[in-house]
Structure 1
Amino acid sequence: MPPKELQSRKQQNKSIKVNSDESLSFPTINILDNDCLIKIFLYLPIKDRMRIERVCKRWQTVNQQAWSDIKELKIPEALNFIESYSVKIDTTERAVEKLLLRCGRFLNKLEFETYFTFRRLVIMPLIAKHCHNLQCLILYLKNHSNSDMTLLFLNLHKLERLKLSVLNRNDFRDVCLKKLTTNSMPELSLSSNSYVFPGTYCGRINGGGAIGIQNMKNLWNLRFYQFYFEADELKLIVCNESITYLSLENCYFYKCINLIANLRGLKYLNLSKVRDVNDSFLIKLAANYSTPVTNDGINAVSKLKKLTTLMISHSYKVTDSALSKFVALKVLQCRYCKLVRDFGAIELLQNAPHLEEIDLSSTSVSTRFLNAACNVAISRANAMPLKIIVSWRLKLIWSRPRCISKSVLIVEWEERDDKDPYYFFDDDDDDDYDG
């Protein structure tokens, strides 16, 4: 090698060595103590926290303490640190294991957003072992053993909200609800998402699960979706008087739906797609309640398109605007509903061609309503007679038109009883209200 070229190479190597030494002279992140590293790691997303463990053994150890800020975890959303987690089940299991080992003790909420099949069946024991602070647990169950669920419930002492969705009826035995160690849980949701025949493949609440629900003394929100009930189990559930919010969408009842009326404190009841609902059930349900009915409740009942009889007397918060939607009504009893006035009552007369009897005693309807009733009665295509009962006071100021026969319009007056506690009218009431 020529002398000049050799000298040039030596100078180049010397320069590289100097630059390397200078770089080492600058402070690096590793000069920080473990507490500082933990605070830095807390700013990283989950994906990067998992990756930094590959840097060195120290970082791997320190990173175990950098998860205290993770209070909520959604699976599989949190699994973005692995590639194609939906392809290999084993990879998914290991990823979930790693996350729960690191942040499980800090979690308040854990949610599985889809159904998983875990081959090694270690996920439920991991939740039971490491997630003692869980307040909310949402699980989609597929091929899980009842012993795992029992172990899970025995260890979750702080649970406040539990949502279980089963893909097949064999995925969940409701007897494990008896193992819930907390009787203070306020919310429980159970869902069976198979399309099934009643009582065959849908979720079933048996005696053990019913006893577990009965013992949850702080339970106010109870939801079932596509479950099958029989009388013995439903009797136990409705004994829980703390339930005020009940959803029974798409559920099946074997000759026992009337038992629901025993829940006296209900504020919300969802009976969507329940075939067993009929008029007798609704009448019995309403008869057990002394709480004021409002337009919200009446509007909800108006969705029952085949309802022919409605009795809502003494519903002081109901107005006439809620009445016009009941187009199939034959009988309406609406006595002592002071807020019921002419406009909505007249609309009901016009919209309900099969209306036979309407009792508006001690309401605020005026002679305008009676005049409208005359027009409706004579124009009915079916010539069906209409019977109306109104306040005795209107008798003093209204006269029947001669052209209106009693065979098409029957007007009766309520009997005046000054001792009736519901006669709270005074002399200044607006008898001539016209709107």
Structure 2
Amino acid sequence: MSAKRICIEKDKKTSDDDKVQKVVINSLDYDSLAQIFMLLPVPERIDIEGVCVKWKEACQLSCLPKEINEIHLFFESLLDQKQTRSMRMHGSSYEASRELSAEVLYTIFCTCKNLKHLDIVHCRNDVAEIPLEKWISFQNLQYLAISCNMTPDLADTIVKYCKNLKHLRINNRHHIINTALKTLTELENLECLILLNCIKLNKESIIAISNNCKKLKRLEISIRSIYDPPSSLSDLDEISKLQYLEHLKLCIGKSLKDSTIIAIANNCKNLKSLEIAGCSAITETALVALTKLDNLQKLDVSFLHITDSFISKLKGLKELHCDFCEQLTEAGFIQLIKNNPDLKEISVLGTDSITIDLVIAADQATKHRTNGIILHIRKYDLELTQAFKSIIKSQWLVVK
């Protein structure tokens, strides 16, 4: 047999062996592949993810230990390509891109029985498609952030199995079923409830939150509309029953009225943060009632019709956001800075109140600070920022 023929037959045999090996490895299931990839260094796993979809999902599974306590999803656009293709581990915390596959999501529900923190609000796969009985794995869950079609059955399941839940965030692609929301208010240990985007609430849901969620410290509601006519919007006043509230955010447009703000000011004495940006029906008369809140540190009244008279009465603040409050002048801001020595941020985007006189006054008011707090005035105007640099002498003042 010639050497040439031997070489040809050897190359043919090697090629056939490679095909057999490829067929064998591709016939393995996800778990078996994950077990193999788990033995590889992380950089090599990242490269393997680019081979095919199946290998990518298997690599994701290989990074998912059963003893994990936290899972977070992040936006790919915030990271470079290398990070986007990877799943990051920090101790018992697990981070992944929103490309989390249905297979990996299912595995999380089946295997992570010690999970306490699950943040998959950016997941493209619908959590509602996971079999309801798989939620039994999450009896230790304390933090849940999801985006899905919240049905009554899913709400019943969460209440049944996730009795230790303290933080619940629902970011809906559609509208939440009010029956489901009323069920979720039965979570006895709930301290934080965040309802975002296209959620529509009726008065029964508002009342259920107010009556059942007695331990709430944080409540955030962002909705496009409320089903009920304006005559029943006084039911929003029921929120003031939540006397342990420390952080309240109500982005509900004209649905929020003066009576609710006054009720909150009278009853929610532990309130530290209030965000009511864009609630244009609120008048300054109601806002003045907020000066009764001795613990209030952060206030967002952007897009509201407020004047110097109001902000001059504020004391104890650390943050004030008043973007596009066009009636405010430098006189009001100067008095605000003097009255609030711990003030660390003023946001004034869309106003013409940041003048040289205001910067000089702020410079004088902050240069003798002994609390170590830097005051940031945020105008987001590069030209003004450059112009004010030569004026500012205080190490405790920054204009951006």
- The amino acid of 2:141's aligned partner reads L
Unpaired runs of at least 5, structure 2: 11-34, 56-61, 77-82, 87-96, 318-326, 342-352, 354-400
**Counterpart-to-counterpart distance in 2, 1:86 and 1:304:** 36
Provide Cα deviations, 1:284-317, integer angstroms capped at 9, x if missing partner. Answer: 333x43x2788x76xx66975552644966x776
Q: Is the 8 A contact 1:157 1:181 kept in 2?
A: no
Partners in 2 of 1:259 and 1:253 — Cα distance?
A: 12
Counterpart amino acid of 2:251?
Answer: E
Shift of 1:236: 3.1
Structure 1 residue aligned with 2:245, among 232, 243, 246?
243
Alignment of 1:34-53 (within 5 A): none
| Mapping of residues 270-349 of structure 1, within 5 Å | 270-286=275-291, 288-289=292-293, 291=294, 304=304, 306-307=306-307, 309-310=309-310, 326-327=328-329
| Alignment: residue pair count | 279
The equivalent of 1:145 in structure 2 is 151
Give the 5 Å matches for 1:173-184: 173=178, 175-179=180-184, 182-184=187-189
Q: Which has the larger radius of gyration?
A: 1
Q: Deviation digits for residues 372-427 of structure 1, max 9, x if unmatched?
A: xxxxxxxxxxxxxxxxxxxxxxxxxxxxxxxxxxxxxxxxxxxxxxxxxxxxxxxx
Alignment counterpart, residue 212 of structure 2, candidates 212, 215, 227: 215
Aligned equivalent of 1:123, options 125, 130, 134: 130
Q: Given the alignment of the two structures, is residue 253 of structure 1 paired with residue 256 of structure 2, yes or no?
A: yes
Q: Could you tell me whether the CA contact under 8 Å between 2:206 and 2:239 is conserved in 1?
A: no
Aligned 1:86-235 pairs, distance under 5 A: 92-103=101-112, 105-106=114-115, 108-114=117-123, 116-117=125-126, 121-123=128-130, 125=132, 128-141=135-148, 143-169=149-175, 171-173=176-178, 175-179=180-184, 182-193=187-198, 203-208=200-205, 210-226=207-223, 228=226, 230-231=232-233, 233-235=235-237
Once residues 46 and 156 of structure 1 are traced to their aligned partners in structure 2, the CA distance between those partners, rounded to angstroms, is 34
TM-score calculated relative to the size of structure 1 = 0.47
Where in structure 2 are the equivalents of 1:69-88 lying within 5 Å? 69=68, 71-74=70-73
Distance 1:326 1:210 in 2: 36
CA distance in 1, matches of 2:234, 2:64: 50
Asked if the contact 2:109–2:135 (Cα under 8 Å) also holds between the matched residues in 1, the reply is no
Q: How big is each residue's C-alpha offset from its partner over 1:240-275, in whole Å with a ceiling of 9 and x where there is no partner?
A: 100021011244236753433342332211010112
Whether the 8 Å CA contact 1:38–1:65 is kept in 2: the answer is: no
- Of all paired residues, the percent bearing the same amino acid is 13
- Asked if the contact 1:108–1:136 (Cα under 8 Å) also holds between the matched residues in 2, the reply is yes
Following the alignment from structure 2 to structure 1, what is the Cα–Cα distance between the partners of residues 123 and 38? 33
State the alpha-carbon separation in 2 of the partners of residues 293 and 66 from structure 1.
Answer: 42
User: Given the superposition, is the C-alpha separation of residues 270 and 75 from structure 1 closer, same or farther in structure 2, using an over 3 Å criterion?
Assistant: closer
In the alignment, which residue of structure 2 is the partner of 1:386? none
- Counterpart CA distance in 1 for 2:215 and 2:37 is 39
Alpha-carbon RMSD: 5.5
User: Partners of 2:316 and 2:121 in 1: how far apart?
Assistant: 43
Structure 1: unaligned runs, 5 residues or longer: 14-35, 56-62, 194-201, 319-324, 340-350, 352-435
Distance 1:113 1:66, change over 3 A: closer
C-alpha contact (below 8 Å) 1:310/1:329 kept by paired residues? no
1:158, distance to aligned residue in structure 2 (A)? 2.0
Residues 112-163 of structure 1: CA distance to partner in whole angstroms, max 9, x if unpaired? 3055457xx532625522222222111112x442211221232112212111
Label 1:168 to 1:65 Cα distance change in 2 as closer, same or farther (>3 A).
closer
Structure with the higher fraction of residues in helix conformation: 2
Return the alpha-carbon distance in structure 1 between the equivalents of residues 164 and 153 of structure 2.
20
Rounded Cα–Cα distance in structure 2 between residues aligned with 1:303 and 1:281: 16
Distance 1:100 1:241 in 2: 35
